[in-house]
């Protein structure tokens, strides 16, 4: 009961505009300056992350025809992306319940368009093409927008990892040479010449509450800037590498914080998650204070088998740039050599944010992944604030100086999202959830953690 009473007290302060709320990045800058926080100084720390999050799906009720035209759907595609009709048969109602996975690939563009692209198109108000094959073999088509739907719910089954790892081609394994497709790279990684990584380090919400002292089943979060709720741990969740399952209504999401993401193995999906850490005890405070990039291990693994070979720190991967504007990609049009009108950087951009014709980067789409720094033949791209081009920094691993050429986490929008949640809480528009239902994670021995 004490925890709930403390949460109630913080909520009352939030309602009155009297609570002290800090973003995790600001909190940690104070920690680096030597400040040791104690109970009562700060009420809430907001944390956020945006990354590739494969375990995602959405359920829609799609209008197809009027009632009585067909019995029920056997197959359905939205913009060519296959879905699963059901669970209800919607017999003779003219509508179809459909589940779409975020990583499903379009029939018409399997390497360039998937569920994540579909979801963003819907959120941007674009018209969607539905194709339905009924159980009796007839074919129907319709068009709709998100506003035409009365049900659009988002489900994540394995999102918001505590942290992940980095990959390079150390072993040059035959399986990778013969089929160099991977969700962890936009193209083939030459042996010992480049590294990609995932994870937002000290910004990761679960890294700030590794023991789930304040994150519970029922905790409120923001999923792609829309209100959501934690429903438990996700698939393949482990105590040392936990993740969450979250549900949210899709209608309120912001398309800038979600989207399709092209890799050499086809489309993936990105999501954004923000949640508050209520500082109810010194143990919780110390846990947040310890979650610094320089303290968090970054496993370095071979891309062929994903087996870690050594460990670095997230401070080796992320530069100390602390502002969102310092994490943008910059384009220098004077360096553009036009590449015979076939821009390699544009081709490999996972978010299709680059236009060589317009000589610009669409910052609403840009993920800050850095693929352009490796693929631009003229060296026209670099990260804002860096003096050099060609990569996002260098990590020394396995005897190589490896340039960082691909990031699957968007730190810029993570910083923007934790600041947005802080603003909502200071206005009293986002309160803490009073719940004690624990997050349960099974160990390999079947024990609950």
Give yes or no for a contact between 59 and 98, defined as CB atoms under 8 angstroms apart: yes
What is the pTM (predicted TM-score) of this model?
0.94
**Sequence-ordered list of residues with C-beta below 8 angstroms from that of 279, at least 6 positions apart, any chain:** 37, 39, 42, 43, 44, 45, 285, 288
How many residues would you count in the chain? 449
131-159: per-residue pLDDT in tens?
Answer: 999 999 999 999 999 999 999 999 999 99
DSSP SS3 for 27 = helix
Residue 149 has a pLDDT of 96
pLDDT at position 4 is: 47
Q: Are 56 and 160 in contact (CB under 8 A)?
A: no
CA atoms within 13 A on the CB side of 203: 30
CB 78 within 8 A of CB 98: yes
3 state SS of 197: strand
Q: Which two tokens stand for residue 58?
A: 């959405």
User: What is residue 325's predicted lDDT score, i.e. its pLDDT?
Assistant: 64
* Residue 210: cis peptide before it, omega within 30 degrees of 0: no
Residues of the chain with pLDDT under 70: 1-5, 320-323, 325, 340-341, 388, 442-449
Residue 66 makes CB contacts below 8 A (sequence gap 6+) with: 94
Q: Where are the alpha helices (DSSP H) in 135-226?
A: 174-178
Select from 327, 336, 299, 325 the least CA-distant residue to 314: 299
Q: How open is the CA angle 63-64-68, to the nearest 5 degrees? A: 105
Predicted local distance difference test score (pLDDT) of residue 340: 65
Tell me 409's DSSP state.
B
């Amino acid at each position: 009961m004490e925890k709930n009473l403390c949460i109630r007290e913080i909520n009352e302060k939030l309602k009155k505009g009297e609570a002290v709320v800090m973003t995790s990045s600001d909190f940690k800058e104070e920690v680096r300056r030597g400040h040791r926080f104690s109970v009562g100084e700060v009420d809430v720390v907001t944390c956020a992350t945006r990354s590739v999050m494969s375990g995602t799906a959405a359920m829609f009720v799609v209008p197809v025809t009027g009632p009585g035209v067909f019995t029920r759907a056997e197959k359905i595609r939205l913009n060519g992306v296959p879905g699963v009709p059901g669970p209800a048969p919607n017999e003779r109602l003219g509508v179809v319940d459909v589940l779409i996975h975020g990583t499903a690939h379009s029939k018409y563009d399997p390497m360039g368009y998937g569920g994540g692209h579909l979801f963003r198109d819907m959120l941007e108000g674009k018209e969607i093409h539905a194709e339905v094959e009924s159980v009796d073999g007839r074919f129907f088509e319709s068009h709709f927008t998100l506003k035409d739907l009365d049900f659009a719910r988002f489900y994540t089954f394995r999102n918001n990892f505590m942290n992940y790892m980095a990959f390079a081609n150390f072993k040059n394994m035959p399986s990778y040479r013969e089929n160099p497709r991977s969700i962890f790279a936009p193209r083939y990684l030459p042996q010992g010449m480049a590294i990609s990584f995932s994870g937002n380090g000290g910004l990761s919400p679960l890294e700030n509450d590794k023991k789930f002292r304040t994150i519970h089943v029922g905790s409120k979060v923001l999923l792609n800037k829309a209100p959501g709720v934690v429903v438990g741990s996700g698939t393949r969740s482990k105590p040392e590498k936990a993740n969450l399952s979250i549900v949210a209504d899709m209608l309120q999401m912001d398309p800038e914080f979600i989207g399709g993401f092209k890799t050499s193995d086809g489309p993936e999906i990105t999501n954004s998650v923000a949640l508050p850490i209520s500082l109810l005890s010194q143990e919780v405070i110390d846990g947040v204070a310890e979650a610094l990039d320089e303290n968090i291990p970054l496993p370095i693994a071979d891309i062929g088998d994903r087996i870690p070979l050594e460990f670095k720190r997230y401070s080796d991967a992320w530069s100390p740039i602390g502002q969102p504007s310092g994490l943008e990609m910059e384009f220098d049009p004077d360096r553009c050599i036009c590449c015979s009108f076939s821009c390699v950087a544009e081709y490999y951009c996972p978010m299709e944010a680059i236009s060589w014709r317009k000589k610009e980067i669409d910052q609403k789409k840009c993920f800050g992944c850095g693929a352009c720094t490796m693929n631009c033949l003229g060296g026209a791209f670099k990260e804002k604030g860096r003096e050099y081009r060609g990569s996002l920094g260098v990590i020394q691993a396995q005897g190589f100086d490896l340039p960082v050429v691909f990031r699957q986490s968007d730190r810029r929008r993570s910083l923007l999202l934790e600041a947005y949640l802080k603003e909502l809480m200071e206005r009293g528009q986002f309160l803490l959830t009073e719940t004690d239902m624990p997050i349960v994670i099974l160990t390999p021995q079947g024990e609950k953690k």
